[in-house]
Amino acid sequence: MSADWYHSPAARTWTGDSAAAPVRQFHRSMPGYAPTALHDVPDLARELGVASVRVKDESARLGLPAFKILGASWACANVVAARFGTDPTDLPSLRRAAEGERIEFVTATDGNHGRAVARMAALFGMTSTVFVPAAMVASAAQAIADEGARVERSKGDYDEAVAEAARYADQARERALVQDTAWDGYVQVPEWIVQGYETLLLEIDEALPEPPDLVVVPVGVGSLAQAVVSHYRRDSSSRRPALLSVEPRTAACALASLSAGESVTVAVGGSVMAGLNCGTVSASAWPVLRDGLDGAIAISDEQALHAAADLNRAGVSSGPSGASTLAGLRAALAVPERRRALEITTTSTVVLLNTEGSRQAPRADTAGSPAPS
Ligand X SMILES: Cc1ncc(COP(=O)(O)O)c(C=O)c1O
Report which of 166, 168, 159, 216 is spatially closest to residue 186, judged by C-alpha positions.
166
- Give whichever of 68 and 338 is closer to ligand X, judged by the CB atom: 68
Q: DSSP string covering 310-370, please? A: HHHHTT----HHHHHHHHHHHHHHTSHHHHHHTT--TT-EEEEEE-B--SSS--GGGTTPP
110 as an active site residue: the answer is yes
- Give whichever of 27 and 68 is closer to ligand X, judged by the CB atom: 68
Could you say which residues in the range 153-212 bind ligand X, by CB under 6 A? 180
In this structure, the number of other CB atoms found within 10 A of the CB of residue 152 comes to: 16
Label residue 104 left, alpha or beta by phi (over 0 means left) and psi (-120 to 50 means alpha). beta
Kindly write out the interface string for residues 65-104 of this chain, putting x where it contacts ligand X by CB under 6 A and - elsewhere.
Answer: -x-x------------------------------------
Nearest-CB residue for ligand X? 275
Residue 174 buriedness (CB in 10 A; 0-12 / 13-18 / 19+): exposed
Catalytic residue among 56, 57, 68, 157: 68
Kindly write out the interface string for residues 100-139 of this chain, putting x where it contacts ligand X by CB under 6 A and - elsewhere.
Answer: ----------xxxx--------------------------
Q: Which stretch binds ligand X (CB under 6 A): 11-19, 81-89, 128-136, 219-227?
A: 219-227
Question: What gap in Å lies between CA 22 and CA 30, rounded to an integer?
Answer: 14
Are 149 and 130 in contact, with CB atoms under 8 Å apart? yes
- Give whichever of 277 and 348 is closer to ligand X, judged by the CB atom: 277
Report the relative pairing of strands 214-218 and 242-248 from DSSP bridges: parallel
Question: Of residues 35, 241, 275, 292, which one binds ligand X by CB under 6 A?
Answer: 275
- Give whichever of 98 and 192 is closer to ligand X, judged by the CB atom: 192
Question: What's the closest the beta carbon of residue 272 comes to ligand X, in angstroms?
Answer: 12
Question: Of residues 16, 196, 212, 220, which one binds ligand X by CB under 6 A?
Answer: 220
Kindly write out the interface string for residues 22-61 of this chain, putting x where it contacts ligand X by CB under 6 A and - elsewhere.
Answer: ----------------------------------------
- Give whichever of 68 and 98 is closer to ligand X, judged by the CB atom: 68
**Residue 321 makes contact with ligand X by CB under 6 A:** yes
Label residue 118 left, alpha or beta by phi (over 0 means left) and psi (-120 to 50 means alpha). alpha
Q: Is the dihedral of CA 274, 67, 188, 154 positive or negative?
A: positive
Please work out, in degrees rounded to the nearest 5, the angle formed at the alpha carbon of residue 97 by the alpha carbons of 95 and 102: 85
DSSP 8-state class, residue 202: H
Question: Of residues 57, 147, 191, 356, which one binds ligand X by CB under 6 A?
Answer: 356
End-to-end alpha carbon distance in the chain: 37
- Give whichever of 81 and 219 is closer to ligand X, judged by the CB atom: 219
Question: Of residues 223, 250, 271, 284, which one binds ligand X by CB under 6 A?
Answer: 223
- Give whichever of 77 and 281 is closer to ligand X, judged by the CB atom: 281
Catalytic residue among 56, 57, 90, 110: 110
**Residue 355 makes contact with ligand X by CB under 6 A:** yes
Question: What gap in Å lies between CA 362 and CA 69, rounded to an integer?
Answer: 13
Question: What gap in Å lies between CA 244 and CA 146, rounded to an integer?
Answer: 35
Question: Of residues 322, 330, 342, 348, which one binds ligand X by CB under 6 A?
Answer: 322
**Residue 224 makes contact with ligand X by CB under 6 A:** yes
DSSP 8-state class, residue 61: B
Q: Give the residue numbers annotated as catalytic, written as ranges.
A: 68, 110
Q: Under the rule (CB under 6 A), what is the footprint of ligand X?
A: 66, 68, 110-113, 180, 218-225, 275-276, 321-322, 355-356
